[in-house]
A and B are shown apart, each in its own frame.
Chain A
């Protein structure tokens, strides 16, 4: 079971990275969502799993998936949901403002270097 889950995490991770490397902001956001799925599954599998269906302490400690990992994932799910929502809205506003979802065209903070890269003269003389 670990093997199949590990492979699945790999596929999800690869898909997510591929999407995030895209020029399209929408795809980036989708990649972000996949990334959190991959991470959750990673923690879940890493905590150790079996197929027994119980997490109740009262039932006696039969084998089960790690309850600490479960608690961590619960937190992670909610946080990644918050992050995802925020990123989505940010992408939306960016589109409204810049009228593009092409990340290559978003150069407001770091404008295209204009022409000559400006040879620095160490002497301090104006070149």
Chain B
């Protein structure tokens, strides 16, 4: 892994300046945005479709932008050290920066379609990042899984966006938020909701789409840290927060978000305790955090509408708190992995002496995660609790959030106390502290969590309340403070911490019980995914075997059956089946000809003699020539006769060299009936089409034009000839070219014998099919 002697490429350190600079730039917007002045910039892209590259920095977007660039700065710094000596640092850095920029696009886009494009860019770049170790099959699988799950969700989301855009009359979020169109009453509201939620839930890994996120731990640790703390998975939460004023406020919205979010939070917090890999534990705590965010965005407040939208404040505060503690913990996990050579908490311990800075950073983060005063986590948790208590689902929501939080306290202890405290296992190589880029970022973020907890007013007034205002759709009046006195939320906090500590103390018994309960689940998301993917592969095998069978006549059967069925259906549906009103006088000659031709056609089918078939074919051709003649088409009849004569001669020459019909492989009775039915349907359809055509009065405008102009412009009395050689002369030239081409090809085919060297002959004996593919240069 780490090659201590390898140099860190200069660019991987310099690139840190990009997010840092962007962070400063966004930070400079804080005062104006907090003052209620959103920034806006737009470049025309597809104005015809109402799609413009419009960017909009309001409270919510700015909070996310600051998290993305701020955490991104430290992640890139960390990555430059973490990837030291890796052969493809450049590729990695490029992916990471591309990912960061796509994420910024998501949170700042004003146009829904542009938002979707950036959304998909994050999907693609995260695919590249998760599958970065492409030699590892688990990484490849995880990358593909995340791509398929989030990509499928995103497609649904796009459909939802289109519905939303049509309903609101604009794709611009600003206009949507400003407008007062009643989307909740729109007939397609439920469809919009389901489609948009599909996108947000897959991206933010809500149950039942949660499984891809822990698998994505196959990515290098800086990626996991970034994906989990401030980006990728937060995109879904961001979208829900962004659309809350547009789509939210209904019972459907509230129940779905609260239900899915709460279940995901409790379920994944429980799973987190059963894991032993540091990154896996952290991954499941991320799922918990996402569940909490989703839940509180949707949580309906039971108080009057003029009250503080506490749910929005809680969700936004938790996003902020989570980013500040999750990134350091992941980075510390990566550092531990680097220096101790393992991430398994069962073989870790006693790192406190070797890695003091990492311990400090991890401790700060874990205290914030547990919600211990005076950290930001405590403030966040208090708001969560008072919001849950004040919601319409008071008791249930409070119970869910307290349970999840208690387990998270336990997980925080698991992640920090186990590796750093206790006895170090003797078998491990001596661990050492990482270089400064490995811990500086975690430390800064940990201190920031402490600072935000000590001075909550600062964080809330400048960042969180403007963001919560964007989520709630109105500016909340909220006094943030560290200490609210001994009230119910504080009591719950105490309960949470004690329960978490208790669970940590009894962790062996608890994880055993949880593990056996989880093992009893009949289906996991992962196995369902595998089942689905294998199912698709199996269906495609069967489908290919039927449709692409490699047997020529079956292809033809499909083509003809489709032709007959579709045309016949059209005729019936459109009701254009015509029956001539009068049976016109048909002369004896015409009857005779028709019967003769039909009989000859049947002979061609039934004949067991090649010669008989050829003769019958000739009779058909000649008969048709006679029909042409009967109706005044003397030129056509003449041509037909000449061609027919030639055909019979050529067919006789060639066909008699081919094997006779006596020993041919015939189809079974059933197959012949099937063919007969398809043929009859096609024949019947043709007849009906022709009858429908002739029942209409014929349009002879073109013919009349040719008849009028044949003599003055074409200087010929025979209209047909004039059309051929004059009016449509180019067509005739094309026809002659086809004839010439066919003649040349036929001649070549007959005379072409591949020159056979001894080797080629041997090869063609071994692979007879290769002979037909020989190059045309071997003409002899």
The answer, yes or no, to whether B183 is at the interface (CB within 8 Å) is no
Which A residue sits closest to B620, measured CB to CB? A37
Chain B residues positioned under 8 Å from A123 (CB to CB): 137, 140-141, 144, 530, 533
Given A9-B690, A48-B698, A71-B720, answer yes or no on A20-B710 (Cβ-Cβ < 8 Å): no
Contacting residue for A37 out of B536, B540, B621, B694, CB 8 A = B621
A122 to B41, CA, bound (A): 43
Contact B735 A75 (CB under 8 A): yes
A84 to B65, CA, bound (A): 70
Tell me which residues from 106 to 125 in chain A have a Cβ below 8 Å from any Cβ of chain B: 106-113, 117-125
Contact A81 B724 (CB under 8 A): no
The answer, yes or no, to whether B628 is at the interface (CB within 8 Å) is yes
Chain B residues positioned under 8 Å from A26 (CB to CB): 610, 655, 658-659, 661
Interface 1/0 per residue, B547-559 and A, CB below 8 Å: 0101111001100
A40 to B639, CA, bound (A): 12
Which A residue sits closest to B580, measured CB to CB? A3
Which B residue sits closest to A76, measured CB to CB? B735
Chain B residues positioned under 8 Å from A68 (CB to CB): 702-703, 706, 723
Tell me which residues from 565 to 620 in chain B have a Cβ below 8 Å from any Cβ of chain A: 580, 583-584, 586-587, 590-591, 594, 597-598, 601-602, 604-605, 610, 613, 617, 620
Determine how close the nearest CB of chain B comes to the CB of A92; give it in whole angstroms. 5
Determine how close the nearest CB of chain B comes to the CB of A36; give it in whole angstroms. 9
Interface 1/0 per residue, B638-660 and A, CB below 8 Å: 01100100110011001101110
Contact B636 A77 (CB under 8 A): yes
Contacting residue for A79 out of B548, B587, B694, B738, CB 8 A = B738
List the one stretch of B155-163, B401-409, B742-750 in contact with chain A: B742-750
Chain A residues positioned under 8 Å from B728 (CB to CB): 71, 75
The answer, yes or no, to whether B630 is at the interface (CB within 8 Å) is yes
Most buried by A among B587, B666, B719, B769: B719
A110 to B636, CA, bound (A): 42
Contact A97 B771 (CB under 8 A): yes
A79 to B735, CA, bound (A): 6
Contact B658 A112 (CB under 8 A): no
Determine how close the nearest CB of chain A comes to the CB of B707; give it in whole angstroms. 5
A11 to B686, CA, bound (A): 9
Chain A residues positioned under 8 Å from B137 (CB to CB): 123-125
A57 to B230, CA, bound (A): 84
Determine how close the nearest CB of chain A comes to the CB of B546; give it in whole angstroms. 12
Which B residue sits closest to A117, measured CB to CB? B541
A110 to B533, CA, bound (A): 26
Which B residue sits closest to A80, measured CB to CB? B643
The answer, yes or no, to whether B27 is at the interface (CB within 8 Å) is no
Contacting residue for A40 out of B536, B624, B664, B680, CB 8 A = B624
Chain B residues positioned under 8 Å from A45 (CB to CB): 690, 694
A91 to B449, CA, bound (A): 81
Chain B residues positioned under 8 Å from A74 (CB to CB): 635-636, 639, 720, 724
A115 to B691, CA, bound (A): 50
Contacting residue for B690 out of A2, A34, A77, CB 8 A = A2
Contact B650 A18 (CB under 8 A): no
Chain B residues touching A, range: 35 or more
Given A15-B604, A55-B719, A95-B659, answer yes or no on A103-B552 (Cβ-Cβ < 8 Å): yes
Determine how close the nearest CB of chain B comes to the CB of A94; give it in whole angstroms. 8
Size of interface on A: residues with Cβ below 8 Å to B: 102
Interface 1/0 per residue, B681-720 and A, CB below 8 Å: 0111011001101100010101110110011000001111
Determine how close the nearest CB of chain A comes to the CB of B733; give it in whole angstroms. 11
Tell me which residues from 470 to 490 in chain B have a Cβ below 8 Å from any Cβ of chain A: none
A20 to B684, CA, bound (A): 17
Contact A6 B720 (CB under 8 A): no
Contacting residue for B665 out of A20, A23, A108, A112, CB 8 A = A23
A52 to B583, CA, bound (A): 18
Determine how close the nearest CB of chain B comes to the CB of A108; give it in whole angstroms. 3
Contact A124 B144 (CB under 8 A): yes
Contacting residue for B632 out of A2, A25, A64, A77, CB 8 A = A64
Determine how close the nearest CB of chain A comes to the CB of B111; give it in whole angstroms. 34
Which A residue sits closest to B714, measured CB to CB? A57
List the one stretch of B275-283, B517-525, B671-679 in contact with chain A: B671-679
A67 to B770, CA, bound (A): 50
Which B residue sits closest to A123, measured CB to CB? B141
Contact B605 A18 (CB under 8 A): yes
A83 to B746, CA, bound (A): 10
Contact A12 B583 (CB under 8 A): no
Contacting residue for B635 out of A23, A66, A70, A83, CB 8 A = A70
Contact B639 A124 (CB under 8 A): no
Contact A20 B735 (CB under 8 A): no
The answer, yes or no, to whether B631 is at the interface (CB within 8 Å) is yes
Contacting residue for A122 out of B530, B613, B750, CB 8 A = B530
The answer, yes or no, to whether B545 is at the interface (CB within 8 Å) is yes
Chain B residues positioned under 8 Å from A117 (CB to CB): 541, 545
Chain A residues positioned under 8 Å from B538 (CB to CB): 119
A25 to B682, CA, bound (A): 21
Contact A102 B665 (CB under 8 A): yes
Given A55-B635, A74-B639, A104-B553, answer yes or no on A19-B605 (Cβ-Cβ < 8 Å): yes
Given A6-B691, A93-B749, A101-B658, answer yes or no on A122-B684 (Cβ-Cβ < 8 Å): no
Contact B707 A61 (CB under 8 A): yes
The answer, yes or no, to whether B250 is at the interface (CB within 8 Å) is no
Given A11-B601, A74-B720, answer yes or no on A122-B552 (Cβ-Cβ < 8 Å): no
Chain B residues positioned under 8 Å from A49 (CB to CB): 631
Contact B643 A108 (CB under 8 A): no
The answer, yes or no, to whether B396 is at the interface (CB within 8 Å) is no
A12 to B623, CA, bound (A): 12
The answer, yes or no, to whether B772 is at the interface (CB within 8 Å) is yes
A29 to B620, CA, bound (A): 15
Tell me which residues from 1 to 53 in chain A have a Cβ below 8 Å from any Cβ of chain B: 1-27, 29-30, 33-34, 37-38, 40-42, 44-53
The answer, yes or no, to whether B560 is at the interface (CB within 8 Å) is yes
The answer, yes or no, to whether B534 is at the interface (CB within 8 Å) is yes
Contacting residue for B682 out of A17, A102, A108, CB 8 A = A17
Chain A residues positioned under 8 Å from B541 (CB to CB): 117-120
A119 to B541, CA, bound (A): 8
Chain A residues positioned under 8 Å from B720 (CB to CB): 55, 67, 70-71, 74
Determine how close the nearest CB of chain B comes to the CB of A16; give it in whole angstroms. 8
Determine how close the nearest CB of chain A comes to the CB of B662; give it in whole angstroms. 11
Tell me which residues from 155 to 214 in chain B have a Cβ below 8 Å from any Cβ of chain A: none
A70 to B557, CA, bound (A): 31
Contact A85 B675 (CB under 8 A): no
The answer, yes or no, to whether B133 is at the interface (CB within 8 Å) is no
The answer, yes or no, to whether B427 is at the interface (CB within 8 Å) is no
Chain A residues positioned under 8 Å from B704 (CB to CB): 61
Determine how close the nearest CB of chain A comes to the CB of B50; give it in whole angstroms. 38
Determine how close the nearest CB of chain A comes to the CB of B720; give it in whole angstroms. 5
Contact A97 B580 (CB under 8 A): no
Contact A23 B647 (CB under 8 A): no
Contact B617 A34 (CB under 8 A): yes
The answer, yes or no, to whether B448 is at the interface (CB within 8 Å) is no
Determine how close the nearest CB of chain B comes to the CB of A78; give it in whole angstroms. 5
Given A24-B664, A46-B694, A110-B550, answer yes or no on A58-B711 (Cβ-Cβ < 8 Å): yes
Knowing that A34-B620, A78-B739 touch, tell me 15 more A-B residue pairs with CB under 8 angstroms: A3-B584, A8-B594, A11-B602, A17-B683, A18-B676, A33-B647, A56-B719, A66-B698, A70-B636, A71-B720, A97-B771, A108-B768, A113-B545, A122-B534, A124-B137
Interchain residue pairs with CB less than 8 A apart (9)? A3-B580, A9-B687, A13-B687, A17-B679, A47-B698, A67-B706, A74-B720, A92-B654, A124-B140
